Structure 1
């Protein structure tokens, strides 16, 4: 495989502390002034704390329209309910891929009063043709998510996409996403071939890792996001402490984005209509 096919780090950024919902403390990594979006990804939040006061107020009822939310729980328990009668419990290692479509009102509330709460929420845009589709959920307990050891010292959870002909449970034809949770032992190297033409990023949430090949390799530290590009094969090597990172990729939509708060549409008119529909109870 030629080195000019090697994916490289186009830029690396750190998230910014913020709070959302009823005061839940988060680190926002995509959806900030330094990285407003990475088509089709609109937002990435990491949450992680042992302090109950940082998460206990949760995310009371709030609306969504026009995009998808992907919640990946690493530690802790979160219950979701919506105004269409759906309800579920996210436990450690579980994933919920919610398509808000034309609109719903839901809540995400912690089902614990102490202990660690850790995970990610990713917002994925929907194409114009799907923005007013019916809301739906793809929800998977940890045992439904394939875990592979593709090489010595490498563990991969396949949430979406394919590793060694094993595919994750999440399907979304519009953006054809990849979502991998990769654990590397100290000093271990592994390579993964990203889908051609996808936008991709890696985010390190334990340890540190170098991405890329040879002189083009780039050290990515804890809580840094690397925007990837230039080639399809992502070479990664863990530092002395080992590493754990998510690698996420999706087909860009290349459509105009009109967004405000919990609504993401294509035009300002559609955005205004979303506010009207929500206020008049049509979600």
Structure 2
């Protein structure tokens, strides 16, 4: 009676049931039939199964929804996407800076120059032939508010002016003194960052004094001028101004010699140089600069 060969231990079967592969199980148990042991096979760690992927239900495809609708089951409804939050939209959209002015831009004008009596019908000139048409000195100042050109247009200003003319050239003319004042309108020609030509006109009154005659004459004045402002300095808030002005004074009466003689008109031509100061900058620029500084500090 022949014996059946002795079977090996049942350890590989237990290892297979424990989750190891048959090759690993065979390598871990020594051979009992007299043969050389098998080479050891390194055990590679197995990744844990993805429970979320295996447990998640399949996506609701159109075929599955059609089958469910035929079977009478309710079809899956896709969840609506969440609405974007208000804070996210506010961060995505940059805030628009407010428009407006903190202070209206203003100009202060100071100038001096040469003046000449182009037309001289003042009482002291009536006694001399030919009439002297004397030269003199002119002083001028103006204070203006910008009313146009705050955006992309050409700038314009309106304000008040004050002027003084004296003629010390001759013995007769040095008796005359003219004070003028009124409204002044100034229009800039272009928006060049450094050189800005302009035109201006003014309406007002003029008072004339002649030292040898009692009283004074009050007349209407029309002032026409053209010039250019050349901006200097790092911030360009100061400009050197050159201006040529023609002033017409209509003086209907001036009591002289006990009689009222009409037409004491006189015209003055002035060539002046001075300085123009911008007293206020634009508000949005200051706010924009502050906002940029805050963003730089925050960054």
Higher strand share: 1
TM-score (norm: length of structure 1) = 0.20
Higher helix share: 2
Which structure would you say has the larger Rg?
Answer: 2
TM-score (norm: length of structure 2) = 0.19
